[in-house]
Amino acid sequence: MKIKKYYNITVYALAFLAGILLATAMLLVNYEVFMRYFLNYSAAWVIEVCELILLFITFLGAAWLLKEDGHVTVDIVHSHLNQKTRAVLDIGTSILALVVCLVLTWYSAASTVDHLQREATLVRSLTLPKGMLLVVIPLGFLMVSIQFFIRAWGYIKNWEAPMTENSEPGEDK
């Protein structure tokens, strides 16, 4: 399916961009430390840029992290359930998370549009258009919403499929 292929390419591209931003933040912090301790000069903009980079890393990488099952999970109860009950729980939590992410996508998009229309600015040592900085939030929530839909659909699709001892609902077989 071409749409899923393009979605996957987009998820990996956004995660790659998040990785580049992480490396950039690391270099900027090293620059700030060097300048402060060896040249007695502090660039105030470095901290602000790193704060914004952290925002971007979070929302650009979230869908990839969900796709790769990299989120921290507490499975004390989940691991003691039988496969059918786990499947129902996984479907329910994926659908609930999908709904929550869609609501957050809607409200963050509305807020971003409002900031863009008002031409709001973030004024500190750097003056930046706030709306352009917030664009990453609805984008990230939209990508995570799509990933939760894919996850829920995989669990539903495999609901009736015979499961082997080692298989989990939602896995591609």
User: What is the reported pLDDT for 157?
Assistant: 86
Question: Residue 163 and residue 169: Cα distance in Å, rounded?
Answer: 8
Question: Residue 145 and residue 104: Cα distance in Å, rounded?
Answer: 9
Question: Residue 130 and residue 121: Cα distance in Å, rounded?
Answer: 5
Question: Residue 91 and residue 87: Cα distance in Å, rounded?
Answer: 6
User: What is the reported pLDDT for 121?
Assistant: 84
User: What is the reported pLDDT for 99?
Assistant: 97
* Start-to-end Cα distance in the chain: 16
Residue bearing tokens 């591609």: 172
**pLDDT mean by block of 10 residues, the chain; 173 residues:** 90 97 96 91 90 96 92 79 86 95 97 93 84 94 96 85 52 46
User: What is the reported pLDDT for 160?
Assistant: 65
User: What is the reported pLDDT for 8?
Assistant: 93
- In 3D space, the residue among 96, 99, 89 whose CA is nearest the CA of residue 159 turns out to be 89
Q: Where are the domains of the chain?
A: 2-157
User: What is the reported pLDDT for 173?
Assistant: 40
